[in-house]
Amino acid sequence: MSIAEHKPRTLDILERTLKKRYAAERRFRYYGLAAVVSGLAFVSLLFISIVANGYTAFFQTAIKLDIAFNAGQIDPEGKRAPAVLARADYDALIREALQGLYPEVKGRSAKRELKKVISSGAGFQLRERVLGNPGLIGGKQAVWVAADDEIDVLIKGGATDIETYPGEGIASPTGVEGEIKVLLTTNSFNAVLNEVKESLLRKAAKAEKGLGLAEETLARVDAEIAVIDKRVEQETAAGNLGLVAEQNAARQNLLAEREGLAGKIATKATEVADLRRRAETPGGDEALSGELPSYLVRINGGLVKAASVNNSGISGQVLLPLSSTKGAAKGSWEIVKFATPEGDRRTKDQLIAWVMRLQEQGRIEQQFNTNFFTSGDSREPEQAGIGGAVLGSLYTLLVTLALSFPIGVAAAVYLEEFAPKNKWVDLIEVNINNLAAVPSIVFGLLGLAVFINFFGIPRSAPLVGGLVLTLMTLPTIIIASRSALKSVPPSIREAALGVGASHLQAVTHHVLPLAMPGILTGAIIGMARALGETAPLLMIGMVAFIVDLPGSLLDPATALPVQIYLWVDSPERAFVEKTSAAIMVLLTFLIVMNAIAVYLRKKFERRW
């Protein structure tokens, strides 16, 4: 084949296929870009979700109470003895202050409910205050105490949306306390009524579905009974009496089941019919259940919760007492809606009402949450902090650093500078490379078996954590140090040897200082990894619930990442923001450490 006939063909073919090839090229390029962008999107999503969940935790809702530091109650003997002061019942002071704010709350259970507004740790707060300044006793002072975690969540908007609508027409309450009615000249509650009816329809539909299922089951049971009947017939004919008895017993069971099912179906059917009737007849008086949003009427300085609505008004319980039964004109009363149904939230309507009162009086404020940074763990989210965990992490890392840095550098120096080339050294190198990739949890198992069970070091101690993390970070540090040592040119070594230094002197005086930035970078990165490590610490029991701050290397402690793990498991909503905030703190530490590493590398980077 000669070129002359070959060539035009090539260009022709190219002409035809080029478009497709460029399309493929573009597509490939977009895949690549999409991959990078999705990676970046994951990074930002992660950070956004954590920051969005967590930034509120740095502030804590506080409530201002006018506490009367009643001398008789706190210090009956009047000697201001710290022991006596420490033993006093400060919760009682809070109860009294609350009573002063809500004189209408009577009865033990209602008072207990009211106490839920305030953190259970508020008594300690007062005690600290009095112990710090006994002069308070006998006086009265406005004190900011921590709110309960549920209230904190509510104030931060996590419990329910609260909407208000201005009322139309004139509303006249029939009383100021207890069960009352609020009568309206317009049908402002029509929308609410409609919503109730819709929910009734939804409920009916759901019940019908259940009914259908129950009927299916019934049919199946019937079929089974029929099968058994047939078998009984056959076996009886065959004379297998034992089998017949067995089958009869099974039949009995099925019959019982059938009966139960039939009863259920009957009740369900009436329920469905009832729901449909209520939904379809217009008007009427409809009860608001806990599965619907809560509707309340704010009128005459009070709050009434609608228990049932009809076209002419509502009737229900007064949550905050009204000042009078005077009719309120258009605009001077309003409808309040708690969008999340009461059944779906932990803060009940009455509690929200009390908090709304506090808000009106300016007694609620967001304050910087120092407690979060200083305290240990707690079952109460508003009292829980990362102080203990940070301290635990610090102790653990100190042990890790103190052991892994010298050992790692020493090992790297030996392997890079002194080691002969033989099988033993090869084995060491293979070991180091493999250890770097062994799952961290396996190091935890090692720690559990060796340090705790064999050497008998107490569980949960930062010392054990540090030892385990040392073994884990050693390979990282050794590998980084070796490459730092390797990058120092041999000429430096030779120069030192040339002026008569011993090999060790050449290394310690010249090579090591030059390699130090690289080694430090590796060490910091190793430490950062150790700081974020969780799994091995779980194995050695640093996962316990520990309130006290650890005071030494042998005290039970937990670590910051483990604290995060513990809080994720906690059911309270308020822990979600605590967890996110703890993660933010952890990430801040990591970012700072990595930034230092990058800075060191940039600053001391040397091209030989």
Contacts to other proteins from residues 403-462, by CB under 8 A: 406-408, 410-411, 413-415, 418-419, 427-428, 430-435, 437-443, 445-446, 448-450, 453-457
Q: Cβ distance 318 to 144 under 8 Å?
A: no
Residue 32 contacts other proteins per CB under 8 A: yes
d(CA 382, CA 62): 10
In the complex with other proteins, which residue's Cβ is closer, 319 or 471?
471
Long-range contacts of 87-93 (CB under 8 A, 24+ apart): 88/127, 88/130, 89/123, 90/122, 90/123, 90/124, 90/126, 90/127, 90/130, 91/115, 91/122, 91/123, 93/67, 93/68, 93/69, 93/123, 93/126
Helix (H) or strand (E) holding 322: none
In the complex with other proteins, which residue's Cβ is closer, 271 or 429?
429
Residue 270 contacts other proteins per CB under 8 A: no
Provide the minimum distance between the beta carbon of 401 and other proteins in the complex, in angstroms, as a whole number: 15
Termini Cα distance of the chain: 57
Residue 45 contacts other proteins per CB under 8 A: yes
Interface mask (CB under 8 A) for other proteins, residues 67-106, using x and -?
A: ----------------------------------------
Q: Which 551-570 residues touch other proteins, going by CB under 8 A?
A: 552, 561-562, 564-565, 568
Interface mask (CB under 8 A) for other proteins, residues 5-24, using x and -?
A: -xx-xxx-xxx-xx--xx-x
> Can you tell me which of 67, 386, 557, 576 binds other proteins, judged by CB under 8 A?
576
As to burial, measured by CB atoms within 10 angstroms (0-12 exposed, 13-18 middle, 19+ buried), residue 76 is exposed
- Using CB under 8 A as the binding criterion, the count of chain residues that bind other proteins stands at 101
In the complex with other proteins, which residue's Cβ is closer, 313 or 385?
385
In the complex with other proteins, which residue's Cβ is closer, 14 or 110?
14
In the complex with other proteins, which residue's Cβ is closer, 2 or 281?
2
Per-position DSSP letters for 351-418, written without gaps between them: HHHHHHHHHHTT-EEEEE-HHHHH----SSGGG--SHHHHHHHHHHHHHHHHHHHHHHHHHHHIIIII
Q: Which 123-152 residues touch other proteins, going by CB under 8 A?
A: none
d(CA 403, CA 279): 74
In the complex with other proteins, which residue's Cβ is closer, 59 or 443?
443
Quick one: which segment of 45-53, 79-87, 183-191, 509-517 binds other proteins (CB under 8 A)? 45-53
Q: Which 505-544 residues touch other proteins, going by CB under 8 A?
A: 528, 531-535, 538-539, 541, 543
In the complex with other proteins, which residue's Cβ is closer, 23 or 287?
23
Say how many C-beta atoms besides its own lie within 10 A of residue 283's C-beta: 11
Nearest one of 297, 317, 354, 364 to 101, comparing CA atoms: 354
Provide the minimum distance between the beta carbon of 469 and other proteins in the complex, in angstroms, as a whole number: 12
Provide the minimum distance between the beta carbon of 590 and other proteins in the complex, in angstroms, as a whole number: 6
Query: Would you call 292 helix, strand, or coil by DSSP?
Result: coil
Supply φ then ψ for residue 38, to 5 degrees.
-70, -35
Supply φ then ψ for residue 537, to 5 degrees.
-70, -30
Q: Which 459-488 residues touch other proteins, going by CB under 8 A?
A: 471, 474-475, 478
Q: Which residues contact 562 (CB under 8 A, 6 or more apart)?
A: 389, 534, 537, 538, 542, 543
Quick one: which segment of 140-148, 252-260, 380-388, 577-585 binds other proteins (CB under 8 A)? 577-585
Q: Cβ distance 320 to 101 under 8 Å?
A: no
Q: Say how many residues make up the chain.
A: 608
Q: Which 193-222 residues touch other proteins, going by CB under 8 A?
A: none
Q: Rg of the chain over CA atoms, in angstroms?
A: 37
Nearest one of 574, 565, 530 to 545, comparing CA atoms: 565
Residue 398 contacts other proteins per CB under 8 A: no
Residue 25 contacts other proteins per CB under 8 A: yes
Interface mask (CB under 8 A) for other proteins, residues 335-374, using x and -?
A: ----------------------------------------
Residue 400 contacts other proteins per CB under 8 A: no
Quick one: which segment of 41-49, 68-76, 357-365, 370-378 binds other proteins (CB under 8 A)? 41-49
Helix then strand count (H, E) for the chain reads 21, 11
Query: Would you call 259 helix, strand, or coil by DSSP?
Result: helix
Provide the minimum distance between the beta carbon of 9 and other proteins in the complex, in angstroms, as a whole number: 8
